[in-house]
Amino acid sequence: MPQLLPLDTALLDRIPVFQHLPLTVLDWLTQHGELRQYAPDEVIAAAGSLADSLHAVVAGEMHYYSQMDGQPAHLFRVEQGQVGGVLPYSRFQVYQGQVVAVGETQVYALPRGQFAKLEQVSPELVQRLVSLMNDRARDYVRLQERDDKLRALGKLSAGLSHELNNPAAAISRASASLVGTLQGTPQLLQRLLAACPSDEAVAALLALATLPATPVPSLSALQAADREEELADWLEMQGSPDGYALAPGLLEAGLTVEALAPVAAQLPAEARAVAFSWLSGHLTALRLGQEIAEASRRISTLVGDVKVYSHMDRAQDREKLDVTTGLESTLHMFAFALRQKNVRLTRHYAPDLPPVLAQAGALNQVWTNLIDNALDALPEQGGELRISAVRQQDFVRIGIEDNGSGIAPEVLSHIFEPFFTTKPPGQGSGQGLDIACRIIREHGGRLTATSEKGRTEFVACLPVAS
């Protein structure tokens, strides 16, 4: 608990907003407020506590922290001479984060219940405080926008790193296997040539050394085991000591006993084992090369998705855009999160959808907020997300619908208000939907929401580009 100290008008004169006020006003402030002293690191206001007082720092500092991913994140500080806490006409009701004293801190506190009387005592001071509140609100909105962007970026980067790690790991595994396979190729080739196979036999062997253009039909586990055992036994009859090691690779390329037997008949008996070992290694190398190419293509696609999503190669001016491009790049950013919750995703994009005149990065921020909220609302299993884009007269209508628990009517009427959130302190700033709504309005459109049990849809309407 803070210690209460004696208070006089000289101490209040250290606060710029209280300077040059009539002595009668300063006397009133000392009579109706109190001077509190906090120890270093003492909590001045806990997350979730009521904002019930104006705080003017006489000595020391107050630091404001929010919670990001379970960790305290510094938002801003209120230094000696500055004013924090709640101010006249403010809608600030509850601390979303925590306020902590840095060093030994003295704070003048004026209860919120005295604001009405203060307006009668000193309209000038109230005007100064309202001006401070407007400046603080602008600064706070900018901080929260940054915080929301960082929070969204954190979620997206976690999913993206997982998406990139899979193909990167596949490339690492495949390249290591490829090196091992290729290291044995020269010796196999030397042994094959030493057996002096005929030109016709070599040609028949090389004819099999290509991967099939279409995937080999899949078999049941029992059928595959039988086919593998049959081929392995046949290879061992041809002199291969490791028939069971060669059989899976040959079968994966579609080579059965029927395909290999004519080639074996043309090869000298001493050349058959090494010929099929070479063939299996060659086909394995081709498959590993395909895996590396596919994994590389996946990484390039992901990098391209990030480039489209962030529009880092474009100016920040408005341009004619296909909204489905931004929607798709945003969905790609959420690919990992969608798989984590096993979400069933459906899309309905009208053909020949007209472009809209918009700033791409701003719209992607809207889609990010809406899709992120939808994912939070979805159940762990059985979740459905439906994305639509159709033309309605002179507008493009973009719908983002989920089958979550829904939004209560008393909450739905407030969801676009700044700082309104139903999430616990530190988990939501109440700025995401306000920012999305503001961006859509700045583009000449509107953002609305409808909800009932098991269905919530946010609809953004953007004017068609002329």
- The helix or strand, by DSSP H or E, that contains position 321, with its residue range, turns out to be strand 319-321
Does residue 139 contact residue 83 with C-beta atoms inside 8 Å?
Answer: no
Is 319 a member of any domain? Answer: yes
Q: Is 94 inside any structural domain?
A: yes
Answer whether residue 157 is part of any domain. no
Question: Residue 351: phi, psi to the nearest 5?
Answer: -70, 155
| Confidence band, pLDDT 50/70/90 cuts, at residue 312 | very low
Quick one: average pLDDT of 461-465?
A: 93
339 shares its domain with 273: no
Would you say residue 159 lies in a domain?
no
CATH number where 10 lies:
2.60.120.10
The residues, any chain, with a CB within 8 Å of residue 199's CB and separated by 6 or more, are none
pLDDT of residue 109 exceeding 90, the answer is yes
Co-location of 324 and 283 in the same domain: no
DSSP annotation of 214 reads S
* pTM greater than 0.85 (yes/no): no
For residues 78-85, average pLDDT: 91
Please indicate, yes or no, whether residues 323 and 458 belong to a single structural domain of this protein: yes
Does 329 share its domain with 407? Answer: yes
In percent, the amount of the chain with pLDDT more than 70 equals: 87
Tell me the two tokens of residue 4: 């209460």
Token code pair at residue 456? 């919530």
Residues 319 and 459 grouped into a single domain: yes
Do 270 and 361 lie in a common domain? Answer: no
Is the same domain home to 141 and 19? yes
Same domain, 367 and 289: no
Residue 310 has what pLDDT? 59
123 vs 31: CA distance, rounded Å: 18
Residue found by looking up tokens 């379970």 in the block: 70
Domain identity same for 114 and 196? no
CA distance 323 to 1: 55
Give strand pairing partners of 74.
Answer: 65
pLDDT tens-digit readout, 36-58: 999 999 999 998 899 999 999 99
The answer to whether residue 420 is domain-embedded is yes
Q: Given 262, 294, 326, which residue is the final one in a domain?
A: 294
Asked if residue 376 belongs to a domain, the reply is yes
DSSP 457: E
Residue 404 sits in a domain of what CATH number?
Answer: 3.30.565.10
> What would the pLDDT profile of 120-171 be if each residue is shown by its tens digit?
999 999 999 988 888 776 766 666 655 565 555 556 666 677 677 778 888 8
Q: How confident is the model over 180-230, as pLDDT tens digits?
A: 888 888 888 888 888 888 889 888 888 888 888 777 777 777 887 888 888
pLDDT digits (tens, 9 = 90+) for 386-429: 999 999 999 999 999 999 888 888 888 878 776 555 554 444 44
Task: Supply the pLDDT for residue 32.
Answer: 95
Measured CA distances, 455 to 13, 304, 357, 421 (Å): 57, 33, 30, 19
User: Are 395 and 428 within one domain?
Assistant: yes
Contact yes or no for 431/419 (Cβ under 8 A): yes
* Amino acid, single-letter form, for residue 357: L
Instruction: Tell me how many domains the chain contains.
Output: 3
Considering the domain boundaries, does residue 302 fall inside one?
A: no
| Domain of residue 12, residue span | 3-148
Of residues 87, 82, 75, 77, the one with CA closest to residue 141: 75
Which pair of tokens denotes residue 256? 């059965």
Domain-embedded: residue 175: no
Answer yes or no: do 279 and 376 share one domain.
no
Say yes or no to pLDDT of 299 above 70. yes
**Does residue 460 carry a pLDDT above 60?**
yes
27/121 same-domain check = yes
